[in-house]
């Protein structure tokens, strides 16, 4: 009886030890694993000469997306920058804010195409931009968005845009998300989790064929500011 009890205790101890060793190993390498997870969201493709640079809406407070787009423009990668953004009021929205950010960073007013729209998510914004790009006859664009958003944006645009349009995804540094230590700040954790959920939702929507099932794109809003001057 005692021998059986000792055998049971030893078995449980061995099981706990076998469980503890890999957990301790994961704990020791947690930072490299977290950095790898944070880095996975970032896609930064090499720029090529393009018809336009497209800045996705909902830029952060510092205007980091606009800053990266302005850098690309000053480096002569494209002759025009599209400032895409949802409307906040019938007469103004994020496109106007991004346009102003671009101007303050050296992009001439006549090289900025303000593109207000009513998109509620990245897929709807991609649909609206698809109509703009195809109507202009553009064949290559540089797509600028925040670093944490690049993988999802590239995936969605690859599903929404026609194959004859090349979309090159360029990452913009984001002051709220550093892939090397995103877990150290509440905002970094929030962006990581939201992006994880957003990517899963994007794959699910694509799998269901949402873009070809009659989902109406977010229509661009006619405005005097929505054409290059």
Q: pTM of the entire structure? A: 0.80
Instruction: Report which of 38, 55, 19 is spatially closest to residue 176, judged by C-alpha positions.
Output: 38
Residue 48: both structure tokens together: 């090529």
Instruction: Please provide residue 159's backbone torsions phi and psi, each rounded to the nearest 5 degrees.
Output: -85, -30
Q: Would you kindly state where each structural domain of the chain is located, as residue ranges?
A: 40-226
Instruction: Report which of 90, 112, 89 is spatially closest to residue 100, judged by C-alpha positions.
Output: 112
What is the pLDDT at residue 41?
93
Is residue 144 within 8 Å of 172, Cβ to Cβ? yes
CATH code: domain 40-226 is: 3.40.50.620
CA 56 centroid distance within chain: 8
What is the pLDDT at residue 60?
92
H helices of 94-184, where?
94-104, 122-136, 150-160
What is the pLDDT at residue 177?
95
What is the pLDDT at residue 17?
59
Tell me how crowded residue 58 is: count the other CB atoms within 10 A of its CB: 16
Mean pLDDT by 10-residue block, N- to C-terminus, for the chain (229 residues)?
55 60 51 88 96 95 96 98 94 93 97 96 96 97 97 96 97 94 93 95 83 49 44
CA distance 189 to 148: 11
The residues, any chain, with a CB within 8 Å of residue 112's CB and separated by 6 or more, are: 80, 81, 83, 99, 102, 103, 228
Is residue 142 within 8 Å of 52, Cβ to Cβ? yes
């Amino acid at each position: 009886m005692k021998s059986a009890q000792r055998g049971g205790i030893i078995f449980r101890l061995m099981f706990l030890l076998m469980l503890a060793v890999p957990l301790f190993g994961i704990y020791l390498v947690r930072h490299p694993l977290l950095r790898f997870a944070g880095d996975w969201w970032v896609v930064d493709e090499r720029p090529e000469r393009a018809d336009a640079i497209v800045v996705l809406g909902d830029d952060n407070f510092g205007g980091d997306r606009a800053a990266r787009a302005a850098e690309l423009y000053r480096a002569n990668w494209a002759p025009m920058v599209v400032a895409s953004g949802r409307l906040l009021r019938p007469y103004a929205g994020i496109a106007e804010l991004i346009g102003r950010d671009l101007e303050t960073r050296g992009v001439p007013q006549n090289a900025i195409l303000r593109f207000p729209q009513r998109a509620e998510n990245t897929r709807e914004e991609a649909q609206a931009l698809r109509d703009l790009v195809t109507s202009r006859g553009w064949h290559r664009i540089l797509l600028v968005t925040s670093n944490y958003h690049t993988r999802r944006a590239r995936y969605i645009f690859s599903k929404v845009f026609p194959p004859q349009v090349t979309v090159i995804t360029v990452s913009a540094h984001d002051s709220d998300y550093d892939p090397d230590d995103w877990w150290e700040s509440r905002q970094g954790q929030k962006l990581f989790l939201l992006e994880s959920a957003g990517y899963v939702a994007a794959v699910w929507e694509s799998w269901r064929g949402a873009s070809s099932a009659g989902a109406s794109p977010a229509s661009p809003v006619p405005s005097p500011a929505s054409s290059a001057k």
